[in-house]
């Protein structure tokens, strides 16, 4: 199946499987996959290491100026780099997860991340996942998907993902983190998480990965009239 040089935006709640689906679509169509959440996680790790966020999540305004010296980039294999240093898997830790939504609610942080994301988008043929890609970063994206799933399914997925990586999270802690992030992400003033009016909604609570892919393929065929 051939697909035009479009931007595909995949937004939705935490742990709905956005990145797995986005990666798969990117591989299938030879598109570039970009994980916008990784940049917010990278800024959070930076703020923590620079002592610019308190344990309670209060952000020091000095972060705005400090961002001028921060260089985040994606390596060929998609891992996030801070300057020459690979910051995976640190940015996926519970410590970063517990503060990332506070950092992501800061308007100048969003502006900093957005400018990087738009730079990548200039070349087209891109699949990007996040919270506001279809509503704010690329409102012109030709295909938008908004993903949801039940909280129970999402928490179980995130828990199993962490265990598979050799971590020892508490299920209750994982649930708490999902709830907190979803709340902050949906209620912040700047570009909150919401479904774009022209996004196709995908609730994958009871779907296998193959069914999900078939669904996306159907949407693409329907929208672009390709077989």
99 binds ligand CDP (CB under 6 A): no
Q: What residues numbered 178-217 form the site for ligand CDP, per CB under 6 A?
A: 181, 185
Distance (Å) of CA 184 to CA 1, 14, 25, 109, 195: 39, 11, 29, 15, 16
Segment near ligand CDP (CB under 6 A); pick from 48-56, 63-71, 127-135, 204-212: 127-135
- Encoded tokens for 2: 């051939």
CA distance 146 to 165: 27
Segment near ligand CDP (CB under 6 A); pick from 32-40, 55-63, 68-76, 81-89: 32-40
- Encoded tokens for 176: 């708490």
Residue nearest to ligand CDP (CB): 37
Among 47, 132, 138, 220, binds ligand CDP (CB under 6 A): 132
Q: H/E/C letters for each residue in 142-187?
A: CEEEEEECCHHHHHHHHHHHHHHCCCCCCHHHHHHHHHHHHHHHHH
154 binds ligand CDP (CB under 6 A): no
Give whichever of 92 and 200 is closer to ligand CDP, judged by the CB atom.
92
Segment near ligand CDP (CB under 6 A); pick from 25-33, 52-60, 126-134, 214-222: 126-134
Shortest spacing between CB 206 and ligand CDP, in angstroms: 20
Contact 190, 48 (CB under 8 A): no
DSSP secondary structure letters along 111-149: HHHHHHHHHHHTT--EEEEESSIIIII-TT-SEEEEEE-
Give whichever of 87 and 100 is closer to ligand CDP, judged by the CB atom.
100
E strands in 36-124: 72-74, 80-82, 85-86
Q: What residues numbered 4-23 form the site for ligand CDP, per CB under 6 A?
A: 14-15, 18
How many chain residues bind ligand CDP (CB under 6 A)? 16
Q: What residues numbered 57-86 form the site for ligand CDP, per CB under 6 A?
A: none
131 binds ligand CDP (CB under 6 A): yes
Contacts of 165 (CB under 8 A, 6+ apart): 89, 92
Segment near ligand CDP (CB under 6 A); pick from 36-44, 46-54, 164-172, 214-222: 36-44
CA distance 68 to 135: 26
Question: Which residues lie near ligand CDP (CB under 6 A)?
Answer: 14-15, 18, 36-37, 40-41, 100-101, 104, 130-133, 181, 185
């Amino acid at each position: 199946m051939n697909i035009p040089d479009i931007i595909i935006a995949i937004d939705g709640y935490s742990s709905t499987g956005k990145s797995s689906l986005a990666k798969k679509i990117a591989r299938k169509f030879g598109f570039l996959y970009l994980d916008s959440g990784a940049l917010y996680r990278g800024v959070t790790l930076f703020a923590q290491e620079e002592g610019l966020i308190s344990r309670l999540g209060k952000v020091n305004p000095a972060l705005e100026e400090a961002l001028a010296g921060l260089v985040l980039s994606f390596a060929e294999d998609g891992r996030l780099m801070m300057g020459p240093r690979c910051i995976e898997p640190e940015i996926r830790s519970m410590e970063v997860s517990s503060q990332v939504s506070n950092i992501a609610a800061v308007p100048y942080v969003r502006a900093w991340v957005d400018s990087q994301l738009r730079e990548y988008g200039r070349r087209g043929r891109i699949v990007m996942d996040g919270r506001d890609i279809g509503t704010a970063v690329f409102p012109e994206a030709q295909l938008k998907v908004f993903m949801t799933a039940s909280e129970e399914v999402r928490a179980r997925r995130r828990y199993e993902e962490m265990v598979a990586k050799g971590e020892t999270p508490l299920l209750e802690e994982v649930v708490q983190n999902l709830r907190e992030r979803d709340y902050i992400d949906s209620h912040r003033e700047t570009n909150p998480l919401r479904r774009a009016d022209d996004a196709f909604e995908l609730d994958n609570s009871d779907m296998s990965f193959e069914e999900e892919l078939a669904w996306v393929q159907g949407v693409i065929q329907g929208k672009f009239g390709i077989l």
